[in-house]
Amino acid sequence: MKITEADVVVTSPGRNFVTLRLTTEDGLTGLGDATLNGRELAVVAYLSEHVVPLLIGRDAGRIEDTWQYLYRGAYWRRGPVTMAAIAAVDTALWDIKAKAAGMPLYQLLGGASRTGALAYGHASGRDIPELLDSIRAHLEQGFRAIRVQTGIPGLGTVYGVASSAGDDGRYDYEPARRTALPTVETWDTRAYLRHVPTVFEAVRAEFGPDLPLLHDGHHRMTPIQAAKLGKSLEPYDLFWLEDATPGEDQTALRLIRQHTTTPLAIGEVFNSVHDYTVLLQERLIDYVRSAVTHAGGITALRKVLDLAGVYGIKSGMHGPTDISPVGMAAALHLDLAIHNFGIQEYMPHSLATLEVFRTSYGFKDGLLHPSDSPGLGVELDLDAAARFPYEAAYLPVSRLTDGTVHDW
């Protein structure tokens, strides 16, 4: 079954998405997510200029060989742009293979290991009362695990926190604001470190000891600051502390680990198993944060997770709204199939996004299920996609109070 067509579709229903759509000679189509928030058009060029010409005429059934051809066959390996492009090809080929088999993709990955994937939602508030309301709203929506982010006294807008009270508790239909240049936010790590334990004290006092709580540090601490935060949060029994230190520095996690039993998660910005080898073999983390979209697809992420499983480390796939519904569906099939599933991040997409991407996955009693539709179970409405043209959008940049650019 030859690939006859490969289309790179850019659409922006509230935020930007890049999708690869492959068509085979017998008319099957497969979708892959290639969205790289804030660098979308680099992946479009990589795919259109350097990958699409290689795909036309290839056997759509040869998924592993195509992955190796695009990765090992190119001199320049790894990196977020390359791996998002390879991920899209890989995901689209799995979609086609599962559709050809008439099965939901998770069946080809070994079948279901569970009834559904435990999801966590994003609660936030500019202050503690707003946060507590947001947690209540998420519990009412059915979430059984909650990420907790708040504003920090003395600082202005903080990334990850919804901007207005009384909204529906969502901060990132469009966190990458639609401006030609990134906005700037002010950051102060010491103020953050003082405040966060008081937040978890209040949340535990209100909701009790049982509710799984997560927190995202967005790579902003030094190793010793992260060690201190992990230690100060131990009484509140976090499910995980995420992205405590900058993503490039695997040995930073060694230092954090020496000081705290707070579970650690990292990897949403990683793109290769080689970003994980020290972390897994030395058991420096508890959860692998990579998404299918950014880690080279189902083929590559499955291998990372199998390696993680050897060390008792679980999955915790990235699932913000900048992972498209195609990327989310791919994650859900993998979540259902693997043994060492931990948790799945889930921010529901906007109604406009769901007009473009027709999904079949479901959320019930805190669990996500990819559905039993053949393939990924997502279809792309090209007419709807065309109604939402690309607009440049960027995540904010953080500067310290003295103006120094700070880490993401």
Which residue's CB is nearer to ligand EZ4, number 257 or number 294?
Answer: 294
Specify whether the CB–CB gap between 367 and 388 falls below 8 A.
Answer: no
Q: Among 12, 37, 66, 149, indicate the residue that binds ligand EZ4 (CB under 6 A).
A: 37
- Residue nearer to Co ion on the CB measure, 40 or 268: 268
Locus of tokens 């600051």: 225
Look at residues 53, 55, 51, 32 and name the one whose alpha carbon lies nearest to residue 42: 51
Q: Is 268 in the site for ligand EZ4 (CB under 6 A)?
A: yes
Query: Phi then psi for 55, rounded to 5 degrees?
Result: -90, -30
Q: Does 130 sit near ligand EZ4 (CB under 6 A)?
A: no
* Residue closest to Co ion when measured from CB atoms: 216
Closest separation in Å from C-beta 349 to Co ion? 17
Site for ligand EZ4 in 158-177 (CB under 6 A): 172
Considering only CA atoms, give the Rg of the chain.
20
Token digits for 243? 């992205």
Is 218 among the residues known to form the active site? yes
Catalytic-residue membership of 159: yes
Nearer to Co ion, 33 or 216 (CB): 216
CB closer to ligand EZ4 out of 316 and 375: 316
Paired residues of 184 in beta bridges: 397
Q: Does 33 bind ligand EZ4 (CB under 6 A)?
A: no
DSSP of 13-66, one letter per residue?
SSS-EEEEEEEETTS-EEEEE---TT-HHHHHHIIIIIIHHHHTTSBTT-HHHH
Binding site for Co ion (CB under 5 A): 216, 268
**Phi, psi dihedral angles at 380 (to 5 degrees):** -105, 125
What does 37 bind: Co ion, ligand EZ4, none (CB cut-off 5 to 8 Å by kind)? ligand EZ4
Binding window for ligand EZ4 (CB under 6 A); candidates: 18-26, 257-265, 315-323, 386-394? 315-323
Q: What is the DSSP string of 236-291?
A: G--SEEE--S-TT-TTHHHHHHHH--S-EEE-TT--SGGGTHHHHHTT--SEE---
User: For residues 316 and 325, which CB has a smaller minimum distance to Co ion in the complex?
Assistant: 316
Q: Which residue number, 241 or 334, has a Cβ lying nearer to ligand EZ4? A: 241
Q: Which residues contact 140 (CB under 8 A, 6 or more apart)?
A: none
Catalytic residue among 122, 138, 215, 218: 218
- Cα torsion angle, 284, 112, 98, 364, sign: negative
Residue 394: helix, strand or coil by DSSP? strand
> How many residues of this chain interact with ligand EZ4, rule: CB under 6 A?
10
DSSP, collapsed to helix, strand or coil, labels residue 118 as strand
Q: How far is the CB of 364 from ligand EZ4 (least distance, A)?
A: 23
Q: Is 345 helix (H, G, I), strand (E, B) or coil?
A: strand
List 69, 159, 390, 394, catalytic entry: 159
Q: Which of 33, 40, 130, 322 binds ligand EZ4 (CB under 6 A)?
A: 322
Q: Which parts of 217-236 interact with ligand EZ4 (CB under 6 A)?
A: 218
Of the residues 320, 374, 390, 397, which one makes contact with ligand EZ4 according to CB under 6 A: 320
Q: Which residues are known to be catalytic?
A: 159, 218
| Residue ranges that bind ligand EZ4, judged by CB under 6 A | 37, 172, 216, 218, 268, 318, 320, 322, 345, 395
